[in-house]
Amino acid sequence: MIESTEVKIPLSGIGIRHKAKASIALIGNPNTGKSTLFNRLTGLRQTTANFPGVTVEKHQGTVELGNRALNLIDLPGIYSLDGNSADERIAVDVILGRVAGTQRPSGLLVVIDATHIYQGLYLMEQLLELQIPTMVALTMIDAATANGISIDVDKLRHALGGIPVYPVSSISGHGLDELKEGLEHITGVETPQVPASWPELSETAQQLSQQLGADWQRIDVIQALLQTHPGFEGRLSQLLGNEVVYELRSRLFGNEPPSAVEARRRYKWVKSVIDDIQVQAPLYVKMGARLVRWTNRPWPATLLFLAVLLLVFQAVFTWATPLMDIIDTTSSELGRWLVAKLGDNAFSSFLADGVIAGVGSVVIFLPQILILFLFIIILEDTGYLARTSFLMDRVMRTVGLSGQSVIPMLSSFACAVPSIMATRVIPDRRDRIATILAAPFMTCSARLPIYALLIAAFVPNQSVGWMNLQGLVLFGLYLLGIIGGLGTALMLKSSALKGPKPHFAQALPEFRRPNIQTVAIKLFDRGRIFLKRAGTVIFVVAILVWTLAYFPRMDLEQAPVSTTISESLDQESIESVHSAAQMEQSWLGRIGRTIEPVFKPLGWDWRVSSAVVAGFPAREVVVAVLGTIYAVGSETDDQNLSEKLRSATWPDGKPIFTLPMVLGLLVFYAWCLQCAATLATIRRETNSWRWPLFAWVYMTSIGYTGALVIFQIGSLL
């Protein structure tokens, strides 16, 4: 105890650490290795949240430096500050401290990809107008060298008005120490000079900002003049008068659109800088690069796309099986062990039938979901998803959209929530809303549990040609989702959301080798989100359903079966009849029978109906609820859930799960919007309740109708 007072703590260290950490914003073009650099600098000390009011993700992390720590904010990858998309608007707003709840950064770390310095320098020139301490991390240096590009860093620094430039390789880590050393002093770096690419614009804006007062910064005036920020644009006209602003604009831009003139002016300068600082040796194109170039050609690319889709399917369903078997065995063994240990009572039933059967039936799908996300993340990281948008533009045109809607739609095969956020790159609001409403139709990973359960239980595992029947049914369900989504987009684009033909002007990233650390961090994130849902929403629903199914307890003496038919039945059958009767008169049974008439035309009994209703907040809950209902309802624990479903009957002994009923149920799940998170995301992204409400009513109706038609027609045959 006494010794501890002797411990000497370097005072300088504490003093700085305990001050509020300075915030640095990390910004650059997409695919510049920005995320890799972010992970390299912060390690695992990072958090992900949304910027308030918008669904743009805010990644923050701590960089530990010699004797201070910095807060690093990773901003979305952008090409310009023109406010063309939500990403670009939020980046500018964050840097300028216009976002509530986000500290204004005291410095900028701009990431420029040495192999794409042309677009990098354009953004750089715009960022220099922000007048805050700025540094450059020149990434992909090794890739540039491999491509025969050499860059004179001193000349580059000079061209940018003397701001520090650090060449780094995020892969080898070369140059990272120098960058960190530089970051330590970033707040002391001088404010950048007027960018050299268009001094007339900067100087005009500078003068006006001084004239207009303290709440006008140079960038605000520039955005007002360029007409890239409606708020500032309107206020500037108000303050100076329309004639003065018109005069200024025609002097700066002639009669061309301001953004076009800006692009011309700045890129002209960028081109001259590149001629000066970059030496590109003609190089023999390597085998790998040639192969990639060849696979980008239309026919090879299309075949490759189909092959990748097939591989993803195959992987999700075959690679995951062994792991799923392990989880299945573990959870049922655990349940049995608990009952054996604690005796057959309310508490052991609660743990075994409620918690373990409920949560376990969802957690079992973790391997499939991780494999699916692994593929999507790799495809995203390599730039391949953007490639597919090029291939699919033609298809999307037939429904009135463009290839820009392809990435959101493909990523909603994993989850609709990030995919709805990914629509923010779509510039036209109508196209964006049509994509947002089409995305929830795509078969997301939460639909997999119910598909997998029903297909495994009711579709024979036999081969049809070289395909498997179960695989074919699943493929059909994916197709059904695509048809629903594209049909919805077509309907909306030719009615409520009719607008000008979308353009398909976008950057196409080249193939990049995925970074293992980045992929691992993203995958870990997705797994955590899934388990968190299983541990919270699904956990609570499973407990609730168990309680409703277990209480009130039936008086066994008065059980209807005990006297009349007990002689002809063995002990096990009596127990099973007992538990069925218990289920019937439980709270859940009573609620279920109240809502049963609504779903009776679809061939669902009260158990299925209550499971479906319980699944409205999160569709994967349905499997947990079925797991709980059938666990409580049966004493024979050696059956798994799909066997229990197969033996479920109506009171008259007819099976409930007939083929038309199961197919109808599958169609219901393909089209119905059972996901509170998706609705909340639509609400935030469209900024109104109208669209989420429409999506919910619309998707639920067509899901119900689809199931009704299939069951009724199927039952007649």
Binding-site ranges for another protein (CB under 8 A): 79-80, 82, 84, 115-119, 122, 147, 149, 256-257, 259-260, 263-264, 267-268, 271, 274, 296-299, 302, 389-391, 393-394, 402-403, 427, 501, 503-510
Task: Specify the residue, 296 or 517, whose C-beta has the smaller distance to another protein.
Answer: 296
Distance CA 441, CA 447 (A): 10
CB burial class (10 A; 0-12, 13-18, 19+) of residue 315?
A: middle
Give the integer Cα–Cα distance in Å for 67 and 17.
7
Report the residue number, 390 or 475, with the smaller CB distance to another protein. 390
Instruction: Provide the minimum distance between the beta carbon of 302 and another protein in the complex, in angstroms, as a whole number.
Output: 7
Write the single-letter amino acid at 597: P
Q: Enter the tokens of residue 288.
A: 């790998």
**Is beta strand 57-64 parallel, antiparallel or unpaired with respect to 46-50?**
antiparallel
CB of 284 to another protein, least distance (A): 11
Q: Quick check: 90 and 117 in contact, CB under 8 A? A: no
The bridge status of strand 22-28 relative to strand 467-468 is unpaired
- Please, are residues 113 and 120 in contact by the beta-carbon 8 Å criterion? yes
Q: Directed axis angle between helix 676-686 and helix 690-716, to 10°? A: 140
255-291 per-residue burial string, b: 16 or more CB within 10 A, e: under 16: eeebbebbeebbbebbeebbeebbeeeeeeeeeeeee
The least distance separating another protein from the CB of residue 74, rounded to whole angstroms, comes to: 22
b/e burial code for range 147-161 (CB count within 10 A of at least 16 → b): bebebebeebbbbbe
- In the bound state with another protein, the residue whose beta carbon lies nearer, of 149 and 625, is 149
3-state secondary structure of 123: helix
User: Of 241 and 300, which has the nearer Cβ to another protein?
Assistant: 300
In the block, tokens 């002797």 appear at 6
Q: Could you tell me the smallest distance in angstroms from the CB atom of residue 679 to another protein?
A: 31
Closest approach, Cβ 267 to another protein, in A, equals 5
Select 74 or 393, whichever has its Cβ closest to another protein: 393
Task: State the nearest-atom distance from the C-beta of 129 to another protein, in Å.
Answer: 15
- Secondary structure class of 488 (helix, strand, coil): helix
DSSP 649: B
Q: How far is the CB of 387 from another protein (least distance, A)?
A: 10
**Minimal distance, residue 91 CB to another protein, in Å:** 14
Which class for 466: exposed (0-12), middle (13-18), buried (19 or more C-beta within 10 A)? exposed
Contact 484, 441 (CB under 8 A): yes
Taking the complex as a whole, the smallest distance from the CB of residue 116 to another protein amounts, in Å, to 5
Minimum CB separation of residue 309 from another protein in Å reads 17
Kindly tell me which of 465 and 500 has the beta carbon lying closer to another protein.
Answer: 500
Decide if 605 contacts 620 (C-beta within 8 A).
no
What tokens were used for 394?
């033609």
Q: Which is nearer to another protein, 299 or 466 (by Cβ)?
A: 299
Q: DSSP H helical segments within 551-689, as ranges?
A: 571-585, 587-599, 606-614, 621-633, 641-646, 659-671, 676-686
Nearer to another protein, 504 or 691 (CB): 504
The Cα–Cα gap between 331 and 624 comes to 13
Smaller CB distance to another protein: residue 293 or 590? Answer: 293
* Contact (Cβ atoms closer than 8 angstroms) between residue 542 and residue 355: yes
Q: Which is nearer to another protein, 17 or 271 (CB)?
A: 271
Minimal distance in Å, beta carbon 591 to another protein? Answer: 53
Nearer to another protein, 268 or 646 (CB): 268
